[in-house]
Amino acid sequence: MKILLAYFSFTGNTEKVSKLILKCLQESGINCDIFKIEPILKLKYLPWLFLSFIPGLPFPVKNLKLLNLGNYDAIILGSPKWSLSCPPVTYFIRFLKSERLKAKSSLRIFLFITYGGFGEDSYIQKLKKNLEECGFNVPIASKFKRSEIKDGKAIEGINKFCSEILLSLSPSHPNISKS
Ligand X SMILES: Cc1cc2nc3c(=O)[nH]c(=O)nc-3n(C[C@H](O)[C@H](O)[C@H](O)COP(=O)(O)O)c2cc1C
Candidate list 39, 60, 119, 157; residue touching ligand X; CB under 6 A:
119
Distance, in Å, from the CA atom of 137 to the CA atom of 154, rounded to the nearest integer, reads 25
Candidate list 66, 101, 117, 171; residue touching ligand X; CB under 6 A:
117
CA 62 to chain centre: 17
Quick check: 148 binds ligand X (CB under 6 A)? no
Question: First vs last Cα of the chain: how many Å apart?
Answer: 24
Distance, in Å, from the CA atom of 45 to the CA atom of 142, rounded to the nearest integer, reads 25
Q: In the complex, what is the shortest distance from the CB of residue 18 to ligand X, in angstroms, rounded to a whole number?
A: 9
> 88 vs 140, which CB is nearer to ligand X?
88
Q: In the complex, what is the shortest distance from the CB of residue 88 to ligand X, in angstroms, rounded to a whole number?
A: 10
> 55 vs 116, which CB is nearer to ligand X?
116
Quick check: 18 binds ligand X (CB under 6 A)? no
Longest dimension (CA), the chain: 47
Residues 57-116 that bind ligand X (CB under 6 A): 80-83, 114-116
Candidate list 33, 73, 99, 120; residue touching ligand X; CB under 6 A:
120
**Would you tell me how many other CB atoms lie within 10 Å of the CB of residue 47?**
10
Q: In the complex, what is the shortest distance from the CB of residue 110 to ligand X, in angstroms, rounded to a whole number?
A: 17
> 46 vs 66, which CB is nearer to ligand X?
46
Query: Residue 54: left if φ>0, alpha if ψ -120 to 50, beta else—which one?
Result: beta
Return the range that interacts with ligand X (CB under 6 A); candidates 13-21, 132-140, 159-167, 171-179.
13-21
C-beta separation of 79 from 7 below 8 A: yes
Which residue type is seen at 158?
Answer: I
